[in-house]
Amino acid sequence: MPAASPRPREPVLSRLLQAGDACIVAQHQPALVLDYARSRELAPRAILAGTGMDDLQAPDAQQAISPAEYLQLLANVAAGLKSPETSFMLGQQMLPGHFGALSHALMHAHSLREAIALLVRFQMQLCPLLSPRLRDDGALAVLYWTDSFGAGQQRGFLVEMHMTAMTAMCRWLSGERLPWRYCFNRTPPRYTEQHEVHLGEQLRFHCHLDAMLIDAAWLDRPWPRANAMAAAVARRSVDAAHAGGQRSILCALYDYLLAHIRSAPTLEQCALKFGVSPATLKRHLARHGSHFQAELDQVRAHVALHLFHGGRHDNDAVARHLGFHDANNFRRSFKRWTGMTPMLLRQSLDAYRLQSGDTSAII
């Protein structure tokens, strides 16, 4: 009897989350946004338009909405309130949140490093619209965010919300205000009062990353609220409930490109990895407001900034690392990514370091 032929493998792309998938529990963060909207007496019809929800009461425990619908909910509330404090006020209540065992694990985290590790591992539950990433380079720790589902014009709103959430949670769990420095990949707003109230005065705009920076020594400093036994119990419950872990297509692509950036990955190679045709991958990226070259350029820019930060790499070394065979081509590409040449960037970094001793200028 002939052996049965193996079943075809399911394409990786089919297991990744997309903006239209109902994957965000409405009873979690969306419910907090609804509660805030109710407290400000916004009209229910305006708040709920395009969100997949039909009332302002607490959503059913089984109801889930898509990232696109959650983005629409946030856009509705922001438009209805027309207040520069909305993103910051929503961020204040975002973390540790009300996620059962997962929130308990966060509340009993032993240190900043452990809390960030939970945020990264359970990103889809704790901060589904932006993906947190930690870069620990010896003396400096950089927590930065990448887009998960195509935030578009709401990117700035989300960054303010997530930075405020992280700042407020750390202050509560550590018992002190951590000396974060904040970098924004945007022009400065007309007024920065809300940034200063909720984040502090260490603000930098016109940066190349949306990031929070802190001396690495703070990563492992013990937090007074930590309870090792409670944390272990919570983590076991979390591991059982979220064994597989979910990622969006944009996050998975970023991870793949970052891991293979030295070999100059192509659209065709990525499509093969995800088990689809290049045309199919292009269509999925277009639905998230992006395209392959933009995603590749983002990762290359992030890696180049990381390498230049250490001061140990010149143009040729960084170009080779990123798979460029021509340093001039790399220089032109870097200027397209960041708006300045590598030489100007390094000169500005050196000048700023001499003036202030602040390494955040690298971002």
Q: Which residue has the higher pLDDT, 85 or 62?
A: 85
**Are 338 and 209 in contact, with CB atoms under 8 Å apart?**
no
Q: Which amino acid is it at 255?
A: D
Tokens of 184: 């924004």
298-328 burial: b if 16+ Cβ within 10 Å, else e: bbbbbbbbbbbbeeebebeebbebbebeebe
| Percent share of the chain, pLDDT over 70 | 89
> How far is residue 193's CA from residue 276's CA, in Å, rounded to a whole number?
48
Among 138-142, 143-147, 203-207, name the one with the lowest average pLDDT.
138-142
pLDDT in tens, 333-352: 999 998 888 888 877 766 65
> How far is residue 146's CA from residue 15's CA, in Å, rounded to a whole number?
20
Among 91-95, 196-200, 238-242, 276-280, name the one with the lowest average pLDDT.
238-242
The confidence band for 57, taking pLDDT boundaries of 50, 70 and 90, is low
Residues paired with 24 in a beta bridge: 65
Among 36-45, 101-110, 178-187, 237-246, name the one with the lowest average pLDDT.
237-246
Q: Which amino acid is it at 82?
A: K
pLDDT number for residue 99: 85
pLDDT in tens, 14-29: 899 999 999 998 888 9
Alpha helices (runs of H) in 175-314, residue ranges in sequence order: 193-198, 228-241, 249-259, 267-274, 278-287, 292-309
Q: Is the pLDDT of residue 6 over 60?
A: no
C-alpha distances out from residue 170 to 95, 144, 160, 176, 243, Å: 9, 16, 15, 8, 26
Q: Is the pLDDT of residue 226 over 50?
A: yes
CATH code of the region 248-356: 1.10.10.60
Block residue for tokens 């983002």? 298
Q: Which residue has the higher pLDDT, 335 or 234?
A: 335
> How far is residue 262's CA from residue 222's CA, in Å, rounded to a whole number?
37
Q: Which residue has the higher pLDDT, 61 or 246?
A: 246
Rounded to the nearest integer, the mean pLDDT of the chain is 89
Considering the chain, tell me which residue range(s) the CATH 1.10.10.60 domain(s) occupy.
248-356
Block residue for tokens 């009897």? 1
pLDDT number for residue 3: 52
pLDDT in tens, 153-212: 999 999 999 999 999 999 999 999 999 999 999 999 999 999 999 999 999 998 889 999
pLDDT number for residue 314: 84
Q: Which residue, 89, 183, 95, is CA-closest to 145?
A: 183
pLDDT number for residue 7: 46
pLDDT number for residue 1: 46
Among 50-54, 234-238, 351-355, name the one with the lowest average pLDDT.
351-355
Block residue for tokens 């872990």? 245
Q: Is the pLDDT of residue 231 over 90?
A: no
Structural element, H or E, at residue 211: strand 211-215
Q: Is the pLDDT of residue 287 over 90?
A: yes
Q: How many CA atoms lie within 13 A of 110 on its CB side?
A: 7
Query: For the CA atoms of 213, 363, 337, 155, what is the dihedral angle to 10 degrees?
Result: 40
Q: Which residue has the higher pLDDT, 120 or 349?
A: 120
Q: Which amino acid is it at 294?
A: A
Q: Is the pLDDT of residue 243 over 80?
A: no
> How far is residue 204's CA from residue 278's CA, in Å, rounded to a whole number?
38
The confidence band for 229, taking pLDDT boundaries of 50, 70 and 90, is confident
